Structure 1
Amino acid sequence: MFLYNVTLILDDHAAEEWLQWMQEIHIPEVMATGMFVSNRLLKVVDSPNEGVTYCAQYVAETLDHYNEYQSVYAPALQEKLNTKFKNRFVAYRTLMEFIG
């Protein structure tokens, strides 16, 4: 199993709007792709960065599911994020494999 982690650092003024949008629109759209079996949204409480930091995490059963998500679904979904919150966030994406 694989964990796809998206860490976002948001401007203070965008954080509340972003959180609502993630919970009501973006995460349901990501999960509707069928490529992930679960998700969670976390707020980083000891971030050294300015702004508000969140991690959106999605669990894929196989690397093929993750790769399909990246090639088929991610570009359009990320474009929605980039359009709605343009110049108000920075995102870092990582893929991790469960080992235990």
Structure 2
Amino acid sequence: MSYENKTLIVYLDGDYRRFKAVADLYQKFDYGKAHILITSFNDDNELRGTKDLLNPSYDYIDECHILTEYFSTTTYNNAVEIQQILKRLNYGQVIGVTS
């Protein structure tokens, strides 16, 4: 599968308030031209259950444009998992959001 004409906005695990920056970036793209990857979406992540949480606050983000990565437990694992996702999906542009 290739998304070479799309942008992937990577939300690197952290404080849920950082997601506002991700949402602001997403909103700058035409519908369907950007997807969001939430990394380290494990039980310790403050955004756990995000697909339900986002709709009321960020109703302009389509659920089908949110990807989640569950397996990372360290920064190194995070980088490896993101690399694997990028190899499979072939996005044209990647934007990382971190503190």
With normalisation by structure 2, the TM-score equals 0.33
With normalisation by structure 1, the TM-score equals 0.33
Q: Which has the larger radius of gyration?
A: 1
Which one has a larger percent strand, Structure 1 or Structure 2?
1
